[in-house]
Structure 1
Amino acid sequence: MSKQITYMLAACLTAGALFVSCQKESAEQDAPAATEVSPEVLGQISARGFSTAGVRKVEGGYLVEGDILLEEQDLASTPASPNLRIAEVEQYRTYNLVSKLPRTITVRVSNLPDAYVQGTDEAIARYNALNLQLKFQRTTARKADITIEGFYEGPSGGFITLGSAGFPSKNGSPYRKISMNTHPDAYGANPDVLYVASVIQHEMGHCIGFRHTDYMNRAFSCGSGGNEGAGNVGAVHIPGTPTGPDRASWMLACSDGGNRTFNSNDVVALDYLY
């Protein structure tokens, strides 16, 4: 999730990406040097159904759409299933989902300040309150289904990445890692727990198979950007959901800088899948 940064007016969230991009607008001198991505890799990313705008080479793979990490092996696979859609601003799922339900997904926070631990607990409580077949539980054990780790990166191109994650594997396991930005321009010197929780909640959504709600038009939450790209991925509408725009979804591409959790459409989508 990402967040657009304006120093005169503070705004926020990328996942890219929770939102999958959380970004923030900033001065150009703060932007790190871009790493060139080859045309071949851009072609593979496009074929997977993701936007090639602003792709960055990062540790472990490529960051697309602000907060989605695609690993090298991801680029070799081919999408095969439709996404899931709500209204004109839709919920989308990926072709892979978490399987073997009911199940409990363990989450570990590794070497992060207490605000991130508390934020994780809050995000987990929000999911578990929905009584889905998918539950989450924080653990201090060395091995967990999802590990939340830190990275330190300043603003780039008018946005800052608040957090990032990937999508479930073909074997039905959730994505194994969430990366949270510890740079002061992301959450400040004293991070607000509910804000951190909202980003973690968003990135957890990616880990279990959700793409951004404003997938068709990132400008809806980010102020700029267009279609993230559909590739050969279809869309399936969830019956009974409204047809108007949805400005409060937890899976919007960019943060509003505050505490954002599930709205009624998000609950319908989660209940439909899990």
Structure 2
Amino acid sequence: MRKQTLPALCCLLAALAFTSCNRNSNKQDVVQPNAVSAEVLAQIKANGFSTDHVIKTDEGYLVEGDILLTESQLKEKVSSPVLRVANTEQYRTNLLVTSLPRVIKIKVTGLGNAFIDGCDTAINRYNNLALRMTFQRVTSGAADITIQGFNQGPSGGYITLGSSGFPTNTGNPYATIKMNTNQYAYGSNPNVLYVGSVIQHEIGHCIGMRHTDYMDRSYSCGGSPVDEGQSTIGAVLIPGTPDTADPNSWMLACSNGGNRTFNSNDIIALKYLYQ
């Protein structure tokens, strides 16, 4: 999830199996990402993801700012349809959470109260939709999703706010959401509703949602339009949704820097998949 503001200010990026939110920084680059081979870039593009600013990580490859794709996922063929809600579209991956109804347990570890309260905010927003999947924050025992911190400064003009990934091929949600504790991410006094909005976005990836403006990232991020094409994924229009622009989706690639939750089309998409 990325936010674009005045050039002198910050730009936030949120990013399949690993998603992240970034914001623009006037700091000089401090990290040079490892080179990504042409073969891997071809695999990323074949799966319908942007090949701009791909970052190699220990877990795989970070794409679209906040989505982690593992080596095994890149080798899988994607054949399931996606959900199209408007000129900006709501997408899902070929991997969804299964064995419904079920309770998804979320644990916050090693983070302050703003992240705990932000997690509760995101959970309440999902649970208010009355889906066949409900969320519960736990403080002990096993969890389906663990929210933990990492500390990473600005790199390449952006700073990662959070990251996550897509469900496993066994039908479980992606197991980890990482939230940046660096001072340039949320500041010394994080806004709970903003933190909650980022967590809400990352949970969306964990249960299989892609970025709404996947076909044209300039819609929320500015810059030149980027259309990755449908690849092997395809697109299915959800009945009853408009074919006009959809500016406020919780899964837009770039953040508005504030409190963003589900709009009416987001709710249609989630209920189509999980109610």
* TM-score normalized by the length of structure 1: 0.93
Local SS of the residue matching 2:86? coil
Query: Where does residue 231 of structure 1 map in the other structure?
Result: 231
Number of aligned residues: 271
Q: Which runs of no fewer than 5 residues in structure 1 stay unpaired?
A: none
- How far apart, in 2, do the equivalents of 1:111 and 1:6 lie? 33
Match of 2:217 in 1: 218
Q: Which residue of 1 aligns with 2:179?
A: 180
1:28: Cα distance to partner?
A: 5.3
Q: What is the aligned-residue RMSD (CA, Å)?
A: 1.7
User: Which stretch shows the higher mean deviation, 142-151 or 22-31?
Assistant: 22-31
Query: 2:241 maps to which residue?
Result: 241
Residue equivalent to 1:63: 62
Q: Where in structure 2 are the equivalents of 1:43-122 lying within 5 Å?
A: 43-122=42-121
Answer with 43-52 or 185-194: which moved more: 43-52
Measure the CA separation in 1 of the matches of 2:245 and 2:85: 9
What stretches of structure 1 move > 3 A for 4+ residues in a row?
2-10
The percent of aligned pairs where both chains have the same amino acid is: 59
Contact 1:16–1:253, Cα closer than 8 Å, also in 2: yes
Deviation at 1:231, TM superposition (A): 2.2
Question: What TM-score results when the alignment is normalised by the length of structure 2?
Answer: 0.93
Residues 4 and 142 from structure 1, CA distance in 2 versus in 1: closer, same or farther, beyond 3 angstroms? farther
Conservation of the 8 A alpha-carbon contact between 1:68 and 1:164: yes
**CA distance 1:64–1:155, change in 2 (3 Å):** same
Q: Distance in 2 between matches of 1:89 and 1:36?
A: 31
- TM-aligned CA distance change 1:133 to 1:124, over 3 Å: same
Residue 210 of structure 1, CA deviation: 0.5
Deviation at 1:172, TM superposition (A): 1.0
1:31 and 1:189 mapped to 2: Cα distance?
A: 21
Deviation per residue, 1:74-100 (Å, 9 max, x gap): 122111211111011110011111111
Shift of 1:229: 4.8
Give 1:257 deviation, angstroms.
0.5
